[in-house]
Structure formats: structure tokens, C-alpha cells
Structure 1
Amino acid sequence: MRILHVAAEIYPLVKTGGLADVVAALPAALAARGLDVRILLPGMPAILNGVTDLKRVIRIGPAFGAAVITLRLGRLPDSGLLAYVIDAPFLYRRDGNPYLGPDGCDWRDNHRRFALLGWVAAHLAAGELDRLWRPEVVHAHDWHAGLAPAYIAQNPALSTATVFTIHNLSFRGLFPLDYHHDLGLQISGANQSGIEFHGQLSFMKAALVHAKRVNAVSPTYAREICSQEFGWGLDGVLRGRGGDLSGILNGVDYSVWNASTNPALSRNYSAEHLRGKLAGKLRLQKDLGFSPRAKAPLFAIVSRLTSQKGMDLVLGALPTLLAEGAQLVVIGSGEADIEAAFRTAATAHPAAVSVHLGYDEALSHRIMAGADILLVPSRFEPCGLTQLYALRYGTLPLVRRVGGLADTVVDTTPETLKAGTANGFSFDDASSRKLAGRVSRACALYRDAATWRHLQQHGMAQNFSWDDSAMRYEALYRSI
């Protein structure tokens, strides 16, 4: 079976979040199951430079404001999978964030930049761009690829099966409605309802309406987004899809997140030999300017610093964390006021709070491995990958019980300890008070070395690899 994955980013070439990790790992897991998998990517500078052996497939254009568009085919640096790259310099050759300009605002032509991604996917499905390979299934990821199912559905001659994965429903790909003139889509009469969202154009809605199957990145999130609380105004559309909506949990690439082999760690370790984790913690504390204290619980945040991720809740619970004698290291970037508040906290408590604004993959691994507890108190969380990374590194996640966090983290209670299912801490209400209570509970349990070690070893033994998820995706493809 021939599968084309369509996405705007892929690890390690372009990454702004978990989407890139999924797009790198899922196609490789499907290929390992014997499927013929290729990936379609926009020609961002890092992608053009990172995909090897690029050869021209066809020259296209002009289209979507670009005079020159060349479809190229090469191999991804890690997996070796074949990847199509849309080389459109006018649209894609821009440094920095793939979605934002230097001013921090969306590029004004994002509707054309990502419509082209979906348009090329549809023409590959039609067999018009590469006559040697034509996908049977087009799998589009998040709003950037959301027009792929719409373009395919609007060609009555195409029978290509389409799957759309929601990685985060809050990013709906919204643009002024009159931008449809740039996109070559039917947007009148009955067709308008499939892409119009409260007087705007929505790439996300276009995908939800037109894809043959829609899935979210965890079972709980698939249920949540059908509610008004989590649906971002699209809950009615999702409820209307009925049995066409499913949830498949994301996985982890354990060749990357492996404490025993990762060269980014100052000391490697395993569940049976955890001394290396303690050595890494002490080294990290020293590097952060903290006193190297084995008995001080080290909390970590590896996240976008936004209210969606519950970072304001962490700031509210920070006095409790400090009163417990714990330390906190933060890496990420996000909303200016939250960044400023964390910087202020680090200035006020330099021996206990360290903040690193920006993204550093190697440092993220060191922090994840050196910490004792990872904080993920999200207001909503489609799947979450950091809690899965933390478990593999013997770092216990403390999460809010939503989305994929609810599907993967079992709160530590006397009952779950006895049952052998506990692997972290969770709470329900989005409040600093509730978070502070779980912080205190985690600190108290940390002092019980035997129980803590048991929880670490249980978490490290859990298998959230892509094997099961890839099997479920293959079954989904075959069903359509």
C-alpha cells in the first residue's frame, strides 16, 4: 500500500513542537511494517539542505504567487525514507520560524504557502506530478496540510483515500474569507460550508469536512474535542463525523529517547543502573548554578511557555515548590508575559530557579534526564510527548488529567501503588492550588527512596513505541 504523509515540519530538520517528532517517526514505523511510504514537505531552507540526493521530478508554475516551483525527491537523513520537497523560493526560503516572520506575526501569505502544500499532494494523488509513484492514501497532518483532503475531494475523478490527523485543534488555520480567490477552491453555495468558519476561511475545517477519516492523537482528546469546552467552535463538525473520528495515541522513537545510549547526556544509565541518572542530575544542578543536592527534588519544564500549557498555574504554585526545598529548571519560549514572569522568578531565586528561553534539543535531553519530576499541567493536551519521554528517562510526570496525559499517566495513590500501575502524578482542576497540592505530594514521596525507585523503574519499562500505533494506522488505511 502506497502512503503519502503531508506535513509542514519534520525532526530533525524543522521542529517547533511534537508534530515534527511524529512526522519523523510514524512513516518510518509504517515502512517497517512493509508499507510504501513517502513524505511531502515544503522547501524550507533547513529541509532543502537536510534532505539528501535531491533530484528534480517536475517543474510546476507559476502558482500561488510563486513564479518558479520545482518538485524534488530525495531521502531523509535519519530514516532514509523518500521525501518530496516543494522548492518554491518565493514562498519558503525564509529563515527562522516556518510560520512566523521576524516580528513574531504570521507571514501574511501563509494561506498560499500552505495551500500549495495541499495542492501538490492532490496532484500527486492524481498521478500528474510523478508518473512512477501514485499514493493510494494521502495522510495530512494538522492545518498546514488541511487543504489536501479538500483539493482531492473537489476532483470527482479521484478516489484517493484521505486521512487527516488533528495534532492541535486550537490552531485552525484561519484567514480572511476572500483569500479563497488565491486558492482555486469552490467556495459558494453548498461548498462554502465545508471551508467557511464564522466568516473566515479555515484550513482545519476544510480537512475535517473533506477527509474520509479524521483522527486525533489520543483517544481521550478525540472524545474531548467533540465537546464545547475543547472543540474550539468545531465540536459540531466533529460530532457530525460520527464513526469517522477516532483517536490513536502518538508513540515515541526510542532510538532517540534512550537513556542508555543518548550522547547528549553527561552520563548514560538504565532502569537497573540508575546511578548515572543521579550523576547527571548533580552535574545539571551545578551547570545551572544550583547547589548539587541529591535530596532536593528537581522539577523541570520542557514546553512552550503558554497558558494553554498551564504555565501560569506553575507560576502560582511556585511558592509551594520553593517552600518544599525543591528546584525548578525551565526551557522553552512562548507568551511574553509568562516568559517575563519566569525570568523574574529566576532573578529572585537564582539558587532554585533557572530559565532558558529558546529551543535547544541537546539541553532538553539533559534536563529531561537530570530532573526528578516533569511538570505538564496543560489546560488541554492533544497527546503530549514530553511525559512519555520523561517516563523513559526515569523522570516522573506531574500532569493535568486531560487528553493524552490522561491516557498515559496514572496518578500515584495507595491503590495504584498496590496495583502496580502508578507512574506519576495527576490532578483535575486547572488551578494553582491543585497543582501545588500535587507538588507537595510528589516532594513527600520523593523522600521515600524505595518507592520512588520503583516508580522510576516502572515508568522506564513502559512501552509507548510506535509499533502499536503504526499497526492501528495501517488498519485505518486498509479500512478505507
Structure 2
Amino acid sequence: MPPVLIVAAECAPLAKTGGLADVVGALPKYLAKLGVDARVIMPFHRDIKARFRYETTHLFDYNASGVWPSRFVGIEKLEHEGVTYYFVDNEYYFGGDIYSGGNFEGQQYGFFVQAVCDALPNLDFNPGIVHCNDWHTALIPFKIKARAKREGSWPPATVLTIHNLAFQGTFGDDLESKLIGDDERAFAWDLGCWNMLKAGIDVSDRVNTVSTTYANEICTPAFGEGLQNDLAHVRDEGRLWGILNGIDTDVWNPQTDPCLPARFSADDMAGKRECKRELLAELGLDDDVDAPLIAMVGRLTPQKGLELVPGIVDSLVPMGAKFVILGSGYPELEWQMRELEGRYKGRVCSYIGYNGDLSHRIYAASDFFLMPSAFEPCGISQMIAMRYGSLPIVHETGGLVDTVEPYNQFTGEGCGFSFARFDFWDAVEACKRALEIYGDTAIMRRLTSNAMERDFGFDRCARMYAEMYRSMM
């Protein structure tokens, strides 16, 4: 298997805003178990620099190709927890937030694309596969192939993983003029390079999404976000794969998790009740440990189905349920979640922000995990919830279909609850079914055991990526 260079905007545990970082952080570790030398290149973000400035090695520096307000690039190297990282250093572009927002974010990651392409021939590492992630890196396959055509050389194989098709990197002609040089324009044909994700989809040797169902969905007008024809073409050529994400089971393990006040397993659940008792006290919720606790952890955005949440809370709190919501996002949705807490003080806690340790305690303490996403490419949270014995309540879409088997009252099979239509009434009915089951200790025990025994480890995911890599050789 040739060496792999994974290119991404973020990577856990160094810099994280969402699930992309978890996947990029785990993949090289688990590929190494399969004998694959996989390394990561990413921006030298402010937080990374503050933590690791004196542990990195400076490899070289240069001025990036093109016309940029700041052209300096420093390439730094770090060995951390068995993974090799390369960092693209430029204070102008990466000295602030991971995602700057607005048009500047397009320039921020356009510069990163150019810097990576300029650095590739000079790294102390010669990858046979360059694995890109989302729109932030999607122009790299085009630029690599354009250079190879100009020079008459053989380029590395390229992979583009789409974690969320809704974000495509569309910033107009001004950025394209910086990104696409005159010597590359002859190779751009009808790529529409103003849409970075489209360009990557059209030229990458393999394109994959993060669940099988989502790979099928994005080839349809309902989920294709305007690129369904491009993706259907990629599918018909055999270049489109669906690879279900996994979780790092070393990090997410209720038997060893240092963030928890008590540990537990599928065979001994006593610690989960203690986790619930401690969390209720920590967050100032009523101390009735026997009342069902429903959790949400994630970004507060329309994609996550937040429009359904106020009505669900209004319907279930009178039935005895308590809610814990952890996340940040759209200001208007943050306000709605705070308003719910104010309305149901002692029954609802809305923690606006990110707190990694608290997220572990919420997964461990909760009885149910609500995930009513309008669409969901994969979803990591429902996998973590099941690992910690919290039964998911989900909308049947994308990776939620692939991971959550609804409870079957006739066979006793299943590990959660689901609703087919993205609709308030259907969502509430699914939640009510969950609360009805909560009163039956034997059924709850069986479903919790089913959930905790499901295998969402990253070993399976890494094997699938290795199989996709081999398909290009």
C-alpha cells in the first residue's frame, strides 16, 4: 500500500470544531495498524501553535504561488501520539479562528490549497495517495493533475471525502483568479472552479461520503445540493463510495473514561446511574434520578433539526422528561435553547458552547439521545451515545439509517427509535414510544445492551478506506 497524505482543515486532538476532526484524527492511527503510512497536513492554527510551537521542527519555507496579500509559507513537522503531522504556517491566514467565515474563509483555504500543492514536491515524504476532505481541500486534486499534465509526470492518486455536501466553497471569480493560474486554466475545462467541491468531485480518482445511505441520497435532487448530476456521473463510473464513519473506542469507552465520575459496562450498569446523579447536580437539574434524561450534543444549526426541538420539549417535559442540550451555532437557535431552559428551569439545561469533558458526562448520564437531523451525512454522536448506553431517537436519514436499528416490539431487536418524516408530530411520537419503553426495565436493559454491543470502532472504517485505496492501484 503506498503512503497516504491526509489533507484537512482540522484534526483531533490538535484542532477541532466538529466530526471532521474526529475522523481525520482517528484514520491515520487505525491505518497504521494495517501497515499504511498515513500522515496529516493541515494549517498551523493559533491553538496548535500555542500548544506545540516548541515541539515542532521547521522543515522549509517559501512564498506561495499566485497573488496573495500574504505569501509566506512555513512548513513545520510534529510527531504526536504516533502520528506525523505537517503544518502550513502563515499568521495572516491561520492566526485566527479555524474557520474565519465570509469571503475571507474562501481566501484562507484557497491559500492553504496552493501552499499544500507547492509543498508536496519538497516534503520528506512521497505520498502515493493524497486524501482530501471537504471543500477546503477539494481543489488539490485538480491542481495536482493540472501540474502533472503540464510537466508530463505521473500524479499521486487522489481521494475526496465529502463530510457534508451542503458546504461547497463557492466564492466567485475573484478567488478563482487567485487560485487558478494562467498555466492551469487550460486544464480547467468546465469544472466550475468557483465551486471548489464540484471541481474536486469531477477530477478525483475516488469520491466517498461518510455513509452508504448518504452516498445514495446525494445522487438525488432532494439531497444533491445542485451537484446530483455530477455525483450520479461519478457513481456510474464506479468512483463513488460510501464508507460509514467510526469512533475511536479508546477515547470513547465508558469502562475507562477519565471524564466520568463512575465507570460502567454493558455487564455492570451501576456506574451509569451514578453518572446521571452527578450530572443532574452539576447542571442544576431536579435531582429525580428516575426521570428519563434526554440529551443533545452538537452544532446548533438548521441541519440538526433544531426547529423541531422546542415543540418536542414542550410535549415531553409534562410527561416527566428532562433535557440537556450542549452546543453552539446560529445565534437565534442558541437563544431558543436558552429560552427553553428559562421556561423549564430544573427540567432543561442548555449549555451554550463547547465543553469536551462535559460531553462525555452527558453521553454517560443520559437515557436517550435526540438527533432529529433534517439530513445527516453520517453522524458520530449517535454512535457515541450507544457506546455509553444512551438510546438514540433519530430521523431516518443518511448515516442515522445505517447506524440506528429501530426497536421491534415483536422480536426485541433494535437499539433506538426513529421517525420517517421530518415532521414535528412524527418526532414527538417517536419520543413518546421511547418514554413508554423507559417504564419497562427489562426492555430498556435489553435495548441498552443491544446498543452498547454494536461495533462502531474505527478498525472497520479503516479497513474500508484501505480497500478503497487499493482499488486505485
TM-score, structure 2 length as denominator?
Answer: 0.94
Whole-angstrom distance in 1 between the partners of 2:342 and 2:125: 57
Q: Which residue of 1 aligns with 2:192?
A: 195
Runs of 4 or more off by more than 6 Å in structure 1? Answer: none
Whole-angstrom distance in 2 between the partners of 1:62 and 1:206: 21
Q: Which residue of 1 aligns with 2:75?
A: 71
Cα deviation code 1:152-204 (max 9, x no counterpart): 121212321000000000011110123211113468677252134xxxx1111
Whole-angstrom distance in 1 between the partners of 2:357 and 2:218: 34
Cα deviation code 1:225-250 (max 9, x no counterpart): 00101111011110111211010000
* The one of 152, 159, 178 aligned to 2:144: 152
Q: Which residue of 2 aligns with 1:164?
A: 160
Correspondences of 1:181-330 after superposition (within 5 Å) = 181-185=177-181, 191-196=188-193, 201-241=194-234, 242=236, 243-330=238-325
- What letter is aligned with 2:445? R
> What secondary structure sits across from 1:308 in the alignment?
helix
Contact 1:369 1:395 in 2 (8 A): yes
Contact 1:320 1:440 in 2 (8 A): no
Q: Which residue of 1 aligns with 2:63?
A: 61
Whole-angstrom distance in 2 between the partners of 1:446 and 1:183: 56
> What secondary structure sits across from 1:323 in the alignment?
helix
Whole-angstrom distance in 2 between the partners of 1:366 and 1:233: 40
Q: CA deviation at 1:334?
A: 1.5
> What secondary structure sits across from 1:109 in the alignment?
helix
Residue 409 in 1 paired to residue 413 in 2? no
> What secondary structure sits across from 1:273 in the alignment?
coil
Structure 1 regions of 5+ residues with no counterpart? 101-105
Residue 479 in 1 paired to residue 471 in 2? yes
Residue 429 in 1 paired to residue 433 in 2? no
Change (3 A) 1:148 1:188: closer
Identical aligned pairs, as a percentage?
36
- What letter is aligned with 1:35? V
Q: CA deviation at 1:416?
A: 4.7
Whole-angstrom distance in 1 between the partners of 2:92 and 2:135: 21
Q: CA deviation at 1:220?
A: 0.3
Q: Which residue of 2 aligns with 1:389?
A: 384
Whole-angstrom distance in 1 between the partners of 2:119 and 2:158: 13
Residue 93 in 1 paired to residue 98 in 2? no
Contact 1:121 1:138 in 2 (8 A): no
Change (3 A) 1:191 1:115: same
> What secondary structure sits across from 2:303 in the alignment?
coil
- What letter is aligned with 1:117? F
Change (3 A) 1:284 1:437: same
Whole-angstrom distance in 2 between the partners of 1:203 and 1:66: 21
Q: CA deviation at 1:323?
A: 2.0
Whole-angstrom distance in 2 between the partners of 1:119 and 1:81: 24
- What letter is aligned with 1:455? L
Q: Which residue of 2 aligns with 1:356?
A: 351
Change (3 A) 1:378 1:12: same
> What secondary structure sits across from 1:138 in the alignment?
strand
- What letter is aligned with 1:74? L
Q: CA deviation at 1:338?
A: 1.8
Whole-angstrom distance in 1 between the partners of 2:244 and 2:273: 31
Residue 469 in 1 paired to residue 469 in 2? no
- What letter is aligned with 2:278? R
Whole-angstrom distance in 2 between the partners of 1:344 and 1:278: 28
Q: CA deviation at 1:306?
A: 1.7
* The one of 451, 464, 467 aligned to 1:459: 451
Contact 2:88 2:116 in 1 (8 A): no
Q: CA deviation at 1:50?
A: 4.0
Structure 2 regions of 5+ residues with no counterpart? none
* The one of 419, 442, 452 aligned to 1:450: 442
> What secondary structure sits across from 1:356 in the alignment?
strand
Whole-angstrom distance in 2 between the partners of 1:239 and 1:373: 36
> What secondary structure sits across from 2:302 in the alignment?
coil
Q: CA deviation at 1:348?
A: 1.1
Contact 2:103 2:171 in 1 (8 A): no
Cα deviation code 1:347-404 (max 9, x no counterpart): 1110211101010000111111101000001000000000000010000011111000
Contact 1:99 1:107 in 2 (8 A): no
Cα deviation code 1:11-54 (max 9, x no counterpart): 12211110000010011111111111111010111222445731
